[in-house]
């Protein structure tokens, strides 16, 4: 009997332990589920709900839906190709943020783009105040240049927009860190640019950090590994590819054309682009030999360009002077700019040292046709300008930056351009096959860009279209018959 009683006591004890074990497992399971939930990296919406009929009817449907999605997110990025109407979307976004918060919105834009944005606002019936300092700001929407950051108190704004936000990487790291730090307490943030370089993960990290989604270091550690021994190069972890694009699509929308998100491309077809290399012969190559030797290093290419400035400027004049159409002549050196202004009939030169007022005035005169031949650098006018009225350009000087050249070309070759765009790249024979190298970089860029858009398109479609509420119209064909008892009861 004693033996059975001991077994019974052990059985009860083991059952109790088992029950405790099961309970602990359930608790652990719940804790683990909560842990997993806490690690989800989809950015929740925390913005403004705006009905479709509240959006300015000037916007195309895809622009309206993207704007409403961005307002609903509160903090987001619009990575849209050149000419897809980022200015209209950011202005409409700013209008609703200002109205909802009863506060003011500040837009940072590249130099000379600010005045253009003021004009674009008039098309929407939106007043935009051009500012140089906080004292110039008025209630509503204000715009200034990135260079004016230190003259503003960002804590006084309820919304902040970075126009052509990828330009931030052209500034020193301290400037980027400063604008990110000052933006942390602003409830509504928007970054707008053409789709960033797909292989520039640091740029994506800068955008995520500006929006308060995740720090750049957190993004890199979560999704990326160093590419071999080069600590400056990163590549996506194999298992993290899908998750990383899901994460990006939760705070950014990417498209190169409306059909990327399931909309019609009507009115958004690009005309043909012709890029032709004009090679200037070097008669007396400074090489110590009989023949010109192709420059291989960056320093050699820069030397070759300095030695052939006059020949290249003369070749440009030979192409541009006989034409009565508008031309943009891009250069990289001040000496190139001086000689182009001298050789090209009617050329107006804009330098970095010119006042903002002069740059804005000449930009307007170029659009209106008062100025037909414009000479400048991509660093001055290569970002954000809408110059579809012009379809001819030359590059008399290059900076070896594909992105800078790409952006400069897209000032004219963009949606809304009605003509074939002609680009002449004028180089010396010592500079080699520049166009072939550019086309190779362009093919790589377009391939990676296509992969990037493709990776996020389905998620973005779901996110963007979710903001659109489709209501079926009710068109009754049979008259409703109300029973007498209901009529009597109602009486």
* pLDDT tens track for 361-391: 999 999 999 999 999 999 899 888 999 999 9
Determine the pLDDT at residue 122: 94
In a domain, 72, yes or no: yes
In a domain, 132, yes or no: yes
In a domain, 256, yes or no: yes
Look at the chain and report how many structural domains it folds into.
2
In a domain, 184, yes or no: yes
Query: What residues make up the domain containing 363?
Result: 273-432
User: 382-416 pLDDT, tens per residue?
Assistant: 888 999 999 999 999 877 677 788 889 999 999 88
**Which of 417, 432, 447 represents a domain boundary (last residue)?**
432
**Claim to verify: residue 171 and residue 252 sit in the same structural domain:** yes
Average pLDDT of the chain, as a whole number:
81
Q: Is 462 exposed, middle or buried (0-12, 13-18, 19+ CB in 10 A)?
A: exposed
Can you give the pTM of this predicted structure?
0.75
**Average of per-residue pLDDT across 83-96:** 95
What b/e string do you get for 66-103 counting C-beta neighbours within 10 Å, with b at 16 or more?
Answer: bbbbbbbbbbbbbbbbbbbbbbbbbbbbbbbbbebeeb
Question: Is residue 438 predicted with pLDDT exceeding 90?
Answer: no
* Cα gap 273→422, rounded to integer Å: 6
**Claim to verify: residue 128 and residue 76 sit in the same structural domain:** yes
* Cα gap 200→245, rounded to integer Å: 14
Q: Coil, strand, or helix at residue 293? A: coil
What DSSP element (H or E) covers 160? strand 159-163
Question: Parallel, antiparallel, or unpaired for β 252-255 and 75-80?
Answer: parallel
In a domain, 290, yes or no: yes
What b/e string do you get for 375-385 counting C-beta neighbours within 10 Å, with b at 16 or more?
Answer: bbbbbbbbbbb
Question: Is residue 87 predicted with pLDDT exceeding 70?
Answer: yes
**Claim to verify: residue 124 and residue 244 sit in the same structural domain:** yes
**Average of per-residue pLDDT across 146-162:** 95
Token pair belonging to 349: 């030169």
**Claim to verify: residue 204 and residue 63 sit in the same structural domain:** yes
Contact call for residues 116 and 386 (beta carbons, < 8 A):
yes
* Cα gap 147→132, rounded to integer Å: 10
**Claim to verify: residue 251 and residue 282 sit in the same structural domain:** no
What's the CA angle centered on 444, arms 439 and 449, to 5 degrees? 120
**Claim to verify: residue 263 and residue 280 sit in the same structural domain:** no
**Claim to verify: residue 262 and residue 278 sit in the same structural domain:** no
Residue 115: name the closest of 378, 385, 409 by CA. 385
**Average of per-residue pLDDT across 173-191:** 89
In a domain, 99, yes or no: yes
Question: Is residue 478 predicted with pLDDT exceeding 80?
Answer: no
**Which of 432, 448, 479 represents a domain boundary (last residue)?**
432
**Claim to verify: residue 239 and residue 295 sit in the same structural domain:** no
Contact call for residues 159 and 94 (beta carbons, < 8 A):
yes
Determine the pLDDT at residue 201: 66
* Cα gap 146→161, rounded to integer Å: 11
Confidence label for 238 from pLDDT (cuts 50, 70 and 90): low
Bridge partner residues of 79 (DSSP): 193, 254
What b/e string do you get for 427-447 counting C-beta neighbours within 10 Å, with b at 16 or more?
Answer: bbbbbbebbeebeeebeebee
Share of residues in the chain with pLDDT > 70 (%)? 74
**Claim to verify: residue 112 and residue 138 sit in the same structural domain:** yes
Question: Is residue 243 predicted with pLDDT exceeding 60?
Answer: yes
Determine the pLDDT at residue 361: 92
**Claim to verify: residue 223 and residue 353 sit in the same structural domain:** no
* Cα gap 186→288, rounded to integer Å: 62
Confidence label for 41 from pLDDT (cuts 50, 70 and 90): very low
User: 305-341 pLDDT, tens per residue?
Assistant: 778 899 999 999 999 999 999 999 999 899 999 999 9
Question: Is residue 236 predicted with pLDDT exceeding 70?
Answer: no
Question: Is residue 129 predicted with pLDDT exceeding 90?
Answer: yes
**Claim to verify: residue 317 and residue 358 sit in the same structural domain:** yes
Q: Coil, strand, or helix at residue 419? A: coil
User: 267-309 pLDDT, tens per residue?
Assistant: 888 999 999 989 888 765 554 444 455 555 656 666 767 788 9
Alpha helices in 125-255 (DSSP H): 173-183, 201-210, 216-223, 241-249
Confidence label for 483 from pLDDT (cuts 50, 70 and 90): low
In a domain, 196, yes or no: yes
**Claim to verify: residue 263 and residue 291 sit in the same structural domain:** no
Confidence label for 140 from pLDDT (cuts 50, 70 and 90): very high
Determine the pLDDT at residue 29: 55
CATH number at residue 298: 3.40.50.300
CATH number at residue 65: 3.40.50.10810
In a domain, 444, yes or no: no
């Amino acid at each position: 009997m004693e033996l059975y009683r001991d077994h019974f006591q052990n059985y009860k004890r083991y059952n109790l332990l088992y029950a405790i074990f099961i309970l602990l497992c359930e608790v652990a399971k719940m804790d683990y589920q909560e842990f997993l939930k806490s690690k989800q990296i989809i950015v929740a919406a925390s913005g403004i709900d705006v009905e479709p009929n509240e959006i300015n009817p000037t916007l195309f449907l895809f622009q309206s839906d993207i704007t409403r999605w961005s307002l609903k997110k509160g903090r987001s990025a619009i990575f849209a190709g050149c000419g897809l109407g980022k200015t209209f979307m950011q202005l409409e976004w700013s209008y609703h943020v200002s109205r909802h918060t009863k506060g003011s919105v500040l837009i940072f834009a590249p130099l000379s783009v600010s005045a253009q944005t003021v004009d674009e606002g008039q098309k929407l019936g939106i007043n935009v105040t051009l500012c140089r300092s906080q004292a110039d700001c008025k209630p509503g929407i204000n715009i200034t240049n990135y260079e004016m950051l230190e003259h503003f108190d960002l804590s006084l704004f309820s919304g902040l927009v970075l126009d052509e936000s990828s330009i931030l990487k052209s500034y020193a790291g301290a400037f980027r860190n400063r604008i990110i730090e000052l933006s942390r307490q602003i409830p509504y943030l928007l970054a707008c640019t053409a789709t960033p370089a797909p292989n520039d993960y640091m740029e994506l990290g800068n955008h995520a950090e500006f929006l308060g989604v995740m720090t750049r270091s957190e993004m890199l550690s979560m999704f990326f590994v160093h590419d071999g021994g080069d600590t400056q190069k990163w590549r996506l972890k194999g298992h993290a590819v899908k998750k990383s694009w899901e994460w990006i699509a939760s705070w950014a929308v990417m498209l190169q054309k409306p059909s990327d998100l399931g909309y019609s491309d009507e009115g958004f077809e690009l005309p043909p682009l012709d890029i032709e290399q004009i090679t200037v012969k070097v008669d007396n190559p400074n090489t110590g030999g009989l023949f010109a030797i192709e420059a291989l290093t960056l320093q050699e290419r820069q030397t070759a360009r300095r030695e052939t400035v006059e020949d290249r400027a003369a070749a440009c004049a030979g192409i541009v002077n006989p034409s009565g159409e508008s031309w943009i002549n891009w250069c990289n050196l001040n000496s190139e700019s001086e000689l182009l202004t001298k050789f090209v009939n009617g050329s107006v030169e804009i330098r970095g040292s010119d006042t903002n007022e002069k740059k804005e005035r000449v930009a307007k005169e170029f659009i209106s046709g008062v100025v037909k031949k414009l000479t400048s650098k991509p660093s001055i006018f290569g970002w954000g300008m809408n110059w579809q009225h012009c379809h001819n350009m030359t590059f008399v000087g290059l900076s070896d930056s594909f992105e800078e050249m790409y952006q400069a070309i897209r000032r004219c070759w963009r949606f809304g351009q009605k003509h074939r765009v002609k680009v002449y790249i004028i180089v010396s024979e010592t500079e080699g096959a520049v166009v072939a190298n550019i086309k190779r970089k362009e093919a790589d860029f377009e391939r990676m860009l296509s992969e990037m858009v493709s990776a996020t398109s389905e998620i973005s479609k779901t996110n963007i279209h979710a903001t659109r509420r489709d209501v079926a119209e009710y068109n009754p064909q049979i008259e409703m018959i109300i029973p007498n008892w209901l009529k009597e009861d109602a009486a």
